[in-house]
Amino acid sequence: MLRDITPVTVVVGGFFGDEGKGKVAAYLGLKDMPSAAVRTGSINAGHTVSFNGVVWKLRSVPSAFLCRSCRLYIPAGALINLDIFLDEVEKTKCGDRIFVDFNTGVITDEHVFRETTDELMKLIGSTKQGVGAAVSDRVMRKLKLAKEYEVLKNYLRDVALEVNEYADRGGKVLVEGTQGLYLSLYFGTYPYVTSRDTSASGVLSEVGLGPKKVDDVLVVFKSYVTRVGEGPLPNELNPDEVVRLGFSERASVTGRVRRAAPFNMELARKALIINSATQVALTKVDVLFRDARNVREWGKLPVEVRNWVSEVENVLKVPITLIGTGEDVMAMVDLRQDVFGSLRR
């Protein structure tokens, strides 16, 4: 049984960030060609997009920028750094189709300075990008907003209004969350968390989209769990085991080594519940199973890979629709048109 690709999709992380949301969002941009893509969150989260040998590490621009017909948005609930934003706009050549909400918050050097000298920020493993300090200023009603900066005047739009208009007309809208559920200010491993709610509900509130507008919530899991900085990581592997298994990674923003653990079903189940997930993407399956590298069809995946994916799906009870098998955006097994599993028999 097939179904059409639905108009509004929210992509969020299910672990501690670094799940591969950038790759997934970029793939959906190229494959589905959405009318609008919205990047939430802030510059403390980097999304890596690799396509045809070129790599972009994005901290502001939506990963769906590869779709040249897609309008790109940064919503009111997000935060930007002017230098980082303008540099990414130049590198991605999207200046004629990217827009910032009038009320998007702006991070300054003063915010960065405050975080680099704050003892709590050091304790919890902050990225020291000024995000927490800027959020604090916003709560205190003293943060400067995008509409106050002359350099942004050509980018300003009412993002909530425009995105809702696309959704109301049945246009495809892709909302890109950042980080992962267990870094959520409310649902994560407090105090070792980020400065915002990273759940699907939190992401939607940043954009100004109501829950009834959403068709799919796609939760992204890596085939193993990684975490940057301090805080609990269940079943954490020792550094030698991390290297042996090929799980060694560095954070795209800070360059810090990521701690690692095996795939965690318990954390995954809770993430699906809180996010009201309708689909799951599994990334870096090729790291867990080397012979899955760059495979793009379900039937061509090795039997052991298909068995593992089916086992995970049976436990989680949410369809696994995307399977990442390599760094390139298009290294993906796409099962969305077969959410009821007939291709897997």
**Under 8 Å between Cβ of 76 and 59:** no
Closest by alpha carbon to 24, among 36, 10, 8, 41? 10
Q: Give tens-digit pLDDT for 71-91.
A: 999 999 999 999 999 999 999
**Under 8 Å between Cβ of 204 and 279:** no
Structural domain count, the chain: 1
Classify residue 2: in a domain, yes or no: no
Classify residue 3: in a domain, yes or no: no
Classify residue 126: in a domain, yes or no: yes
Helix ranges restricted to H, the chain:
21-32, 82-92, 109-116, 119-124, 131-139, 159-168, 200-207, 239-245, 265-275, 285-288, 303-316
How far is 320 from 282, CA to CA, in rounded Å?
A: 7
Token pair 């007309």: residue: 169
Q: How many helices (H) and strands (E) does the chain have?
A: 11, 16
pLDDT at position 2 is 44
Classify residue 145: in a domain, yes or no: yes
The residues of the chain scoring below 70 in pLDDT are 1-6, 120-126, 252-254, 339-345
How far is 40 from 307, CA to CA, in rounded Å?
A: 35
Q: Residue 274: CB partners within 8 Å, gap ≥ 6? A: 181, 187, 199
Residue 266 is encoded by which pair of tokens? 């318990």
Which of the following is catalytic: 32, 47, 137, 197? 47
Classify residue 250: in a domain, yes or no: yes
Q: What angle (nearest 5°) sits at the alpha carbon of residue 325, between those of residues 68 and 8?
A: 45
Reduced DSSP (H G I as helix, E B as strand, rest coil) percent helix, strand, coil of the chain, to 5: 35, 20, 40
pLDDT at position 125 is 61
Classify residue 262: in a domain, yes or no: yes
C-alpha distances in Å from residue 277, one per residue of 3, 162, 274, 280, 337: 17, 25, 8, 7, 17
DSSP 148: G
How far is 281 from 20, CA to CA, in rounded Å?
A: 9
Instruction: For residue 111, indicate whether it is catalytic.
Output: no
Q: Give tens-digit pLDDT for 8-40.
A: 999 999 999 999 999 999 999 999 999 999 999
302: CATH: 3.40.440.10
Q: Residue 238: CB partners within 8 Å, gap ≥ 6? A: none
**Under 8 Å between Cβ of 18 and 258:** yes
Instruction: For residue 101, indicate whether it is catalytic.
Output: no
Q: Which domain holds residue 151?
A: 8-344
Classify residue 1: in a domain, yes or no: no
Helix (H, G, I), strand (E, B) or coil at 63: helix
Classify residue 176: in a domain, yes or no: yes
